[in-house]
């Protein structure tokens, strides 16, 4: 059974933890004094307290909602409108059933925003010597993206929202098709060049042109292709159903057609060379406690700096002593005191 601590002992531990956190947050040097957290302002760890110890401290804080209430990717996504236009299922009342996408899109977007904010704040500090507090709400990240993609304006200007149309590409032409061997592919035509490439590669150019004439739409426009999407898809569905994935790949590769196969995680890892050590993004790494597998590094290539080798993910606490001694300059005795208190491990 874990030993229970008295109120006095808990207060002492909290004081040590706060002191340690402040020391880490306000560590000297040009690379120190930067804090990223999703915790609410705690006594001694708020911006004013940290700034009192280091004038140029940078504090980045992520909240759920702007008012400080809790939210996570799934609850934010539920409010975004996207689950009701994902898929094409309808409920008993005719309304769309929500499909909450498994990709944590808002967490990813928030992480990228915060990384950009950190670089911006650090560059401001390098130029002016000033620190600052930067806050972001996960729900605001969602709202910004929904607005930037035009969905807020669509409702205000047109008074409607896009429908749930399955895998069709909203506003242009794109749909998934079954192949003769049970695979599925997606074919997209965003531009007139891509549209004409589909006709040439499949040999359906004349028949596709007839659809435009019969429906009195201009298939060189996205609006025209969207309006005629069902008729276009009917022709392409028959063409794909007569060919295997390998045959379609052979026809489309190098043709200018915008397309791609659907694949599950196993197929991605097993069959796609982009997800292997053939791609400089990946390297075979031994991860302690897990095993050896291809691990991605940074998906950016800088001409001024060679790609750094991918390293195993650090184990929890692996660098604790190094940070305490090299960054904070604590003695072995002070580090031992933190260990005895259960604060450092």
**What is the phi/psi pair of residue 171, to 5°?**
90, -5
CB 74 within 8 A of CB 99: no
Per DSSP, the residues of 198-227 read HHHHHT-HHHHHHHHHHHT--TTSHHHHHH
Instruction: Give the dihedral sign, CA 261/267/271/272.
Output: positive
Measured distance CA(325)–CA(30) in Å, rounded: 18
Helix, strand or coil, per DSSP, at residue 173? strand
CB 121 within 8 A of CB 127: no
- Does 107 qualify as catalytic in the annotation? yes
Catalytic residue among 12, 46, 67, 107: 107
Helices (H), the chain: 7-25, 47-53, 73-79, 105-128, 138-148, 151-158, 192-202, 205-215, 222-227, 229-241, 245-252, 265-271, 320-322, 332-340
Strand order in the sheet with 184-189: 173-178, 184-189, 258-261
Closest by CA position to 132, among listed 124, 141, 140: 124
Measured distance CA(125)–CA(57) in Å, rounded: 9
Measured distance CA(80)–CA(65) in Å, rounded: 13
The residues facing 305 across adjacent strands are 302
Catalytic residues: 107
């Amino acid at each position: 059974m874990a030993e229970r601590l008295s109120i006095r002992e808990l207060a002492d531990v909290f004081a040590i933890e706060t002191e340690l956190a402040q020391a880490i947050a306000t560590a000297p040097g040009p690379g120190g004094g930067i804090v990223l957290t999703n915790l609410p302002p705690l006594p001694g760890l708020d911006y004013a307290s940290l700034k009192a110890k280091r004038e140029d401290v940078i504090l980045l804080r992520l909240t759920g909602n702007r008012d400080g209430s809790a939210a996570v990717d799934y609850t934010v996504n539920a409010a975004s409108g996207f689950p009701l236009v994902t898929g094409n299922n309808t409920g008993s009342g005719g309304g769309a059933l929500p499909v909450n996408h498994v990709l944590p899109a808002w967490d990813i977007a928030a992480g990228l925003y915060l990384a950009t904010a950190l670089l911006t704040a650090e560059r401001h500090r390098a130029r002016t010597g000033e620190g600052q507090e930067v806050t972001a709400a996960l729900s605001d990240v969602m709202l910004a993206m929904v607005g930037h993609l035009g969905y807020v304006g669509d409702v205000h200007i047109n008074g409607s929202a896009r429908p749930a149309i399955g895998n069709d590409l909203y506003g242009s032409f794109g749909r998934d098709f079954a192949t003769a061997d049970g695979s599925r592919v997606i074919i997209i035509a965003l531009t007139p060049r891509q549209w004409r490439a589909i006709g040439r590669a499949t040999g359906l150019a004349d028949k596709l042109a007839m659809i435009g004439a019969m429906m009195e739409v201009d298939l060189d426009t996205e609006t025209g292709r969207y309006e005629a999407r069902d008729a276009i898809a009917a022709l392409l569905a028959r063409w794909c159903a007569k060919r295997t994935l390998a045959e379609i790949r052979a026809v489309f590769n190098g043709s200018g057609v915008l397309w791609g196969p659907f694949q599950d995680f196993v197929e991605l890892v097993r069959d796609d060379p982009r997800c292997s050590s053939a791609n400089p993004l990946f390297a075979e790494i031994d991860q302690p406690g897990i095993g050896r597998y291809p691990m991605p590094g940074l998906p950016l290539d800088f001409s001024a700096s060679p790609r750094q080798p991918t390293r195993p993910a650090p184990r929890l606490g692996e660098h604790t002593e190094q940070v305490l001694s090299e960054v904070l300059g604590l003695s072995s005795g002070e580090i031992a005191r933190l260990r005895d208190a259960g604060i450092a491990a």
